Chains A and B, each alone.
Chain A
Amino acid sequence: MRHDREAEFAEFVRTHRPALLGYAMLLSGDSHLAEDLVQIALIRVYRKWDRVRSGTPAAYARRAVATTVIDHSRRPFVGREVGMALLPETAVTDPETALDPELVVALQQLPPRMRAVVVLRYVEDLAVEQVASILGCRAGTVKSQAARGLARLNSILAGSPTAPSFPLIATS
């Protein structure tokens, strides 16, 4: 029984970890921090595995990542971060990973919860209700945050220079 449980969790990690890492990277803008946050999220998933395995563990894991990122950003010791002038290197596991450097930088200028809504709604292409479930808020909040987030992104992109020419750095 324990073997099955562990095997299931291992397969979940094999399949979903790269996406969680990319999601955390978009939310945090920091590849090292993203790795740490995914580690924390997967610890939470492991501990709740008996409960979440029969449901939607991927959604649970996304929520764990989102709440960890949002809470991390609330902490006073990290509340004085400055905006990025350049895109940090991205911790990705596959050279085919496709990120839009200018958009990644713009995303980091959104408040964390708004950023999470935009990433889940448009990058992950989830329905409003799914985003609301993951973030633990009302559908109306998702809609308003998504609309405001898009408006902010448009404004940021309109005022920003053309996309930087440096390539994304893929690390194994």
Chain B
Amino acid sequence: MNENTNTIDRLRRMNPALGRASEEIVQQDLARGRAAAAHAHRKQAWAAGGIGGFALAVIVAGGAILPALHTGASLQASTADTPQAHTKPALQLVSYTGTQPDGYHLGKVPAGFTVESSNKDALILAPAGATDLSGEFVDRIVVSQQGGFAYSKDGRQVTINGEPALITLSVDPDPATEVQFTTGGHTVDIQIWPTIKLTDQQIIDFAQSITVTGDLTTSAG
């Protein structure tokens, strides 16, 4: 009990912040909010129809509203981190013929890819013969189950398994094309390292070929 009291006292004495934000910071937050709101309006207009492919290009070009995470840089509207729809695939999807991983059934994989590891946290696909990077995800595809929280609301709307899904570019801490979708009541997250060039249709086909078969835990810290 004394231990608890002491720890609670120490926690309560901590004062993580005092004062007020500077005017410069306030204006930057306002600008980011305005940019996000404008982006949402454009997306709604596109979703309502009648604007067509040009609007899609505008939305994609204006989509980079997330901060450049881990850089500490101020948020700027930029096309640099925007998910790009690949039109010329560098890879083909092929039927997966290897041993099925724990927790998932894979129907298709990018040609030359194999299951590197599979556990309750994540299924990792890597090029056959790839060097073990001990937890790094360079040149890899990571499939995991998520707790249902969508990290980003900005990206390209697609349909996977008859349900709306979003293809985004995550930038934290490494860039990756990411899509979350549902299958059999599970929310699945796929992260694709940017060197792996798949079209949106290939990403959709790959996602739709995945079935959750195991009683895995959701990805959690």
Q: How far is the CB of A31 from chain B (nearest CB, A)?
A: 8
Q: Which residues of B contact A153 (CB under 8 A)?
A: 7
On chain A, the number of residues with a Cβ less than 8 Å from chain B's Cβ atoms is 63
Pick from A23, A94, A154: contact of B7, CB below 8 A: A154
Docked pose: A144 CA to B176 CA in angstroms: 36
Q: Which of B32-40, B56-64, B78-86 contacts A (4 or more CB under 8 A)?
A: B32-40
Pick from B14, B20, B29, B34: contact of A39, CB below 8 A: B29
Q: Is the CB of B29 within 8 A of A17?
A: yes
Q: Which of B44-52, B66-74, B88-96, B197-205 contacts A (4 or more CB under 8 A)?
A: B66-74
Q: Is the CB of B10 within 8 A of A100?
A: yes
Q: Is the CB of B17 within 8 A of A39?
A: no
Q: How far is the CB of A110 from chain B (nearest CB, A)?
A: 10
Q: Which of A52-60, A65-73, A127-135 contacts B (4 or more CB under 8 A)?
A: A65-73
Docked pose: A42 CA to B193 CA in angstroms: 28
Q: Which residues of B contact A157 (CB under 8 A)?
A: 7
For B136, give the chain A residue with the smallest CB separation. A80
Task: Identify whether the interface residues of B are mostly helix, strand, loop, or mixed.
Answer: loop
B184 contacts chain A at the CB level, 8 A cutoff: no
B3 contacts chain A at the CB level, 8 A cutoff: yes
Q: Is the CB of B14 within 8 A of A100?
A: yes
Q: Is the CB of B20 within 8 A of A10?
A: no
For B152, give the chain A residue with the smallest CB separation. A40
Q: Is the CB of A97 within 8 A of B15?
A: yes
Docked pose: A74 CA to B90 CA in angstroms: 30
Q: How far is the CB of A137 from chain B (nearest CB, A)?
A: 12
A159 contacts chain B at the CB level, 8 A cutoff: no
Q: A13-B29, A77-B191, A122-B11 are in contact. Are A92 and B69 (CB under 8 A)?
A: no
25 example contacts (A-B, Cβ-Cβ < 8 A) are as follows: A13-B21, A15-B21, A17-B20, A18-B19, A18-B20, A33-B70, A36-B68, A39-B32, A46-B33, A47-B36, A74-B218, A77-B142, A77-B173, A93-B22, A94-B19, A97-B16, A98-B14, A99-B16, A100-B10, A103-B10, A103-B14, A111-B221, A112-B221, A122-B11, A123-B16
Q: Other CB < 8 Å A-B pairs besides A18-B18, A40-B66, 20 of them?
A: A13-B21, A14-B20, A17-B20, A21-B16, A32-B72, A49-B33, A70-B221, A72-B151, A73-B220, A74-B221, A75-B219, A77-B176, A78-B172, A93-B17, A94-B18, A97-B15, A99-B14, A99-B16, A122-B8, A150-B8
